[in-house]
Amino acid sequence: MNDTPNADPRIALATNRTKLATFRTAQALDRTTLAWVRTTLTMGSFGLGMIAFFRALHESAGTPEAARLHKAAINFGEVLVVVGIIATILAGVSHWRTLRRMESGELPQAARWPLSIVVALFVAILGMAGLWSLTTPR
């Protein structure tokens, strides 16, 4: 508190609340980054599982059509692994940049295209492209 007799006690209270708000924001940022790490690990693990499963099926495929489908699934698994790695890196960069902004006294900014939307759209487009390639006659 201030030692001056006419000091407003609300100033010290507001300063403490501001520090707590900054702390809560940093904690929320950590939770968001951990959620991204969990999501990208799941994406990569699922991709690796697809690669292993369909590679085993691809080796014993009885028809060229089955081999083509298995190869497409393997390719999609590989893309999931790559997207998971890239999204992990982007989540880390976003976390680091936001922390630096907060430490310098600037307000965190919401992205125009959040990572969640970008990754979701990318995976949806890849899924549609995969379906398209499977339905077009060869």
pLDDT number for residue 30:
92
pLDDT number for residue 34:
93
Domain boundaries, the chain: 9-135
Q: How far apart are CA 76 and CA 81, in angstroms?
A: 9
Query: In sequence order, which residues have a C-beta less than 8 Å from that of residue 51 and are 6 or more positions away?
Result: 74, 77, 78, 81
Give the confidence band of 10 by pLDDT, cuts at 50, 70, 90: confident
Query: For the segment 68-112, what is each residue's pLDDT rounded down to a tens digit?
Result: 888 888 998 999 999 999 999 999 999 999 989 888 888 777 778
Give the confidence band of 6 by pLDDT, cuts at 50, 70, 90: low
Whether 80 contacts 50, CB under 8 Å = yes
Give the confidence band of 3 by pLDDT, cuts at 50, 70, 90: low
Q: What is the mean pLDDT of residues 42-64?
A: 91
Whether 17 shows a pLDDT value over 90: the answer reads: no
pTM of the shown model: 0.74
Q: In the numeric block, which tokens belong to residue 3?
A: 């030692």
pLDDT number for residue 129:
85
pLDDT number for residue 103:
86
Scan for tokens 């982007």, then name that residue. 90
